[in-house]
């Protein structure tokens, strides 16, 4: 049974993660996260193993609700507007008022694309993200088209692709915002609806794997308590790339949906007794559909979560070690600490990797020929003459340098080939074996060959040289063979 909680939600206390205002290292932690975010902005995550948090889960496990509770924004929820491309959320605490900017990061362009003006009202973020996703899913059209009437929610658009690897970057800053960065990935698909594409299942799987297979990617694995954990495909993918559980941070959602008498199974997970992970399990309680439809505020949702865990058994009676992993506030703080430690571990390695790639790029740039100057016609003639000289040297060689060309090589190989063929020919004697020629003392063939060689040029049909051994053939033997 529930009872009214004595704890109240404190918005300032909720801001944890990397931006703990009581920490003397706040500025350092902020600069560290900013440095990695800049590398992501430059698109270097394809060349470097950059630390990041990837939110992974099967469809309908409450992943979007978790993202909303951490970021404070609302994601598109209408039919057909689920997450169909990676959505990066960069949260940054600042002294200025709340604001949000949206960018597109597409593979075919180096620079990020600003998508619309700065947003100053939280209620407008959902529509902007929905329009941005339409732009991603229709790459042949200019992204700006979807900021106009084409992107309205009442305009039906047939998308060119179902899912995309291109990314939407949502950057939120404000006094009440935490310092944290993560990327929300499309939910793992178990099956497609009528009219859907079977290929979408594999495409989403590959998209998720491309993120989580990297050693510096922390996997925020979202697991719903209303479905058997064995049936949740996201868990299987996480196990494939992180068998030891060092990078995976599992979080249980929908604890209010656990059937009576089945809490013990989930509590064993939460206590890290079953399915052990280095960073342990967390559990969050998000708003139900009725509360979402009624437009519950973010602050009220967080207070309801606190009330649930502090006033509902068995959650309210758990050990303090487990209570410290209940609720979005504790999860956000843990994510910030884990990400910061990972970044600090990776920074020296990243610096070396970047310096190595910079050296290679400088070398590649140095190998590029200098820009031609002077008369273009004379430059072309010089290039043509140099090309002709190179071709002539390849064909004719350079005799004074002892370099053989193609012509000399061909003549030598041709002569060797002719000699090899001739050595396989029999020594034909144009008389019967029983009546040897007076000069046939075993040397007739050689003398005849010598005469032929003397009278014919270098392309004679019978080159000089020894015949095949023991292959003397007489005239009567040829006639006998022909008559058979």
DSSP 326: B
| Average pLDDT estimate for 141-169 | 88
Angle between helices 233-241 and 199-212 (to 10 degrees): 40
Name residue, tokens 């075919």.
Answer: 108
| Average pLDDT estimate for 67-74 | 90
Whether 70 is covered by a domain: the verdict is yes
- For 266, phi and psi rounded to 5 degrees? -75, -35
Whether 193 is covered by a domain: the verdict is yes
Q: pLDDT value at position 250?
A: 96
Burial class (CB in 10 A: 0-12, 13-18, 19+), 397: middle
Q: pLDDT value at position 3?
A: 44
**pLDDT, tens digit, 9 for 90 and up, residues 418-457:** 888 877 777 778 888 887 665 555 444 444 444 444 444 4
Flag the least confident range among 39-43, 177-181, 246-250.
Answer: 39-43
| Average pLDDT estimate for 102-129 | 92
C-alpha distances (whole Å) from 352 to each of 37, 42, 142, 215, 356 are 18, 18, 38, 17, 6
Same domain, 352 and 421: no
Q: Which of 362, 394, 421 is the last residue of a domain?
A: 362
| Average pLDDT estimate for 106-110 | 83
Same domain, 21 and 105: yes
Local confidence band at 132 (pLDDT 50, 70, 90 cut-offs): very high
Name residue, tokens 């694309």.
Answer: 113
**pLDDT, tens digit, 9 for 90 and up, residues 330-357:** 999 999 999 999 999 998 998 899 899 9
Q: Which of 338, 362, 386 is the last residue of a domain?
A: 362
Same domain, 118 and 30: yes
Whether 394 is covered by a domain: the verdict is no
Q: pTM of this prediction?
A: 0.73
| Average pLDDT estimate for 263-270 | 92
CB atoms near residue 21 (< 10 Å)? 9
Q: 427 pairs with which residues across the strands?
A: 472
Averaged pLDDT of the chain: 84
Q: pLDDT value at position 448?
A: 47
Same domain, 138 and 287: yes
Q: pLDDT value at position 229?
A: 86
- d(Cα 213, Cα 105) in Å, to the nearest integer? 20
What is the DSSP pairing of strand 282-283 with strand 99-105? Answer: unpaired
- d(Cα 440, Cα 470) in Å, to the nearest integer? 15
Whether 213 is covered by a domain: the verdict is yes
- d(Cα 246, Cα 248) in Å, to the nearest integer? 6
| Average pLDDT estimate for 87-95 | 91
- For 391, phi and psi rounded to 5 degrees? -65, -40
Whether 133 is covered by a domain: the verdict is yes
Instruction: Residue 234: give its domain's CATH number.
Output: 3.40.50.300
Q: Please determine, for residue 382, whether its predicted confidence score (pLDDT) is greater than 60.
A: yes
CB atoms near residue 381 (< 10 Å)? 11
CB atoms near residue 165 (< 10 Å)? 15
Whether 302 is covered by a domain: the verdict is yes
296 versus 209: which is more confidently predicted?
Answer: 209
Same domain, 353 and 410: no
Same domain, 440 and 292: no
Total domains in the chain come to 2
C-alpha distances (whole Å) from 434 to each of 429, 444, 476 are 12, 16, 9
| Average pLDDT estimate for 147-157 | 81
Of 319, 296, 288, 242, the closest CA to residue 56 belongs to 242
Q: Please determine, for residue 65, whether its predicted confidence score (pLDDT) is greater than 80.
A: yes
Length of the chain: 484
Burial class (CB in 10 A: 0-12, 13-18, 19+), 212: buried
**pLDDT, tens digit, 9 for 90 and up, residues 7-57:** 555 555 455 555 555 556 677 888 888 888 888 888 788 788 899 999 999
Whether 6 is covered by a domain: the verdict is no
Of 43-47, 203-207, 395-399, 456-460, highest mean pLDDT: 203-207
Same domain, 120 and 67: yes
Whether 212 is covered by a domain: the verdict is yes
Q: Dihedral through CA 126, CA 282, CA 191, CA 77, nearest 10?
A: -10
Q: pLDDT value at position 437?
A: 65
| Average pLDDT estimate for 306-319 | 93
Same domain, 413 and 292: no
Q: 167 pairs with which residues across the strands?
A: 105
The answer to whether residues 229 and 235 touch, using CB atoms and an 8 Å cutoff, is yes
Same domain, 80 and 178: yes
Same domain, 330 and 429: no
Which stretches does DSSP call E strand in 420-468?
A: 427-429
- d(Cα 342, Cα 336) in Å, to the nearest integer? 10
Percent of the chain with pLDDT over 70: 86
Q: How many helices (H) and strands (E) does the chain have?
A: 15, 13
Same domain, 68 and 171: yes
Same domain, 411 and 355: no
Of 211-225, 284-298, 341-355, highest mean pLDDT: 211-225
Q: pLDDT value at position 121?
A: 93
Q: Which of 340, 362, 384 is the last residue of a domain?
A: 362
Domain that holds residue 177: 11-362
C-alpha distances (whole Å) from 158 to each of 134, 135, 162, 310, 484 are 10, 12, 10, 47, 82
How far from chain centre, in Å, is Cα 282? Answer: 28
């Amino acid at each position: 049974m529930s009872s009214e909680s004595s704890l109240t939600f404190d918005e300032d206390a909720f801001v944890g993660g990397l931006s703990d205002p009581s920490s003397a290292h706040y500025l350092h932690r902020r600069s560290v996260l900013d440095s990695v975010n800049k590398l992501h902005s430059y698109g270097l995550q394809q060349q470097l193993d950059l630390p990041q948090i990837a939110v992974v889960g099967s469809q309908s496990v409450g992943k979007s609700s978790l993202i909303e509770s951490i970021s404070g924004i609302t994601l598109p929820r209408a039919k057909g507007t689920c997450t169909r491309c990676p959505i990066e959320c960069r949260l940054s605490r600042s002294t200025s008022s709340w604001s949000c900017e949206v960018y597109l990061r597409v593979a075919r362009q180096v620079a990020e694309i600003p998508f619309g003006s700065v947003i100053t009202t939280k209620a407008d973020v959902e529509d902007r993200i929905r329009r941005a996703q339409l732009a991603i899913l229709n790459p042949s059209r200019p992204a700006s088209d979807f900021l106009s009437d084409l992107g309205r929610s009442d305009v039906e658009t047939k998308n060119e692709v179902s899912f995309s690897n291109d990314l939407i970057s949502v950057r939120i800053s404000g006094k009440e915002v935490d310092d944290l960065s993560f990327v929300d990935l499309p939910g793992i698909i178990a099956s497609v609806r009528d009219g859907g594409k079977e290929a979408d299942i594999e495409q989403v799987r590959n998209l998720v794997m491309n993120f989580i297979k990297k050693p510096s990617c922390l996997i925020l694995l979202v697991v719903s308590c209303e479905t058997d954990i064995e049936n949740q495909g996201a868990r299987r993918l996480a196990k494939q790339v992180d068998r030891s559980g060092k990078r995976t941070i599992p979080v249980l959602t929908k604890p209010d949906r656990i059937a009576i008498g089945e809490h013990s199974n989930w509590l064993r997970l939460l206590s890290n007794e079953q399915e052990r992970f280095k960073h342990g399990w967390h559990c969050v309680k998000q708003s139900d559909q009725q509360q979402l439809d009624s437009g519950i505020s973010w602050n009220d949702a967080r207070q309801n979560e606190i009330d649930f865990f502090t006033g509902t058994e068995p959650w309210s009676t758990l050990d303090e070690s487990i209570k410290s992993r209940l609720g979005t506030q504790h999860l956000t703080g843990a994510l910030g600490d884990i990400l910061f430690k990972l970044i600090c571990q990776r920074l020296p390695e990243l610096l070396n990797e970047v310096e190595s790639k910079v050296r290679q790029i400088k070398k590649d740039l140095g190998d590029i020929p200098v820009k031609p100057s002077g008369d273009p016609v004379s430059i072309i003639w010089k290039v043509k003459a140099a090309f002709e000289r190179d071709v002539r040297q390849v064909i004719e060689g350079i005799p004074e340098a002892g370099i053989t060309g193609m012509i000399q090589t061909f003549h030598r190989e041709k002569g060797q080939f002719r000699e090899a063929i001739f050595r396989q020919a029999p020594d034909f004697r144009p008389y019967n074996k029983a009546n040897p020629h007076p000069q046939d003392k075993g040397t007739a063939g050689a003398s005849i060959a010598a005469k032929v060689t003397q009278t014919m040029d270098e392309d004679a049909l019978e080159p000089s040289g020894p015949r095949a051994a023991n292959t003397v053939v007489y005239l009567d033997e040829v006639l006998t063979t022909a008559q058979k």
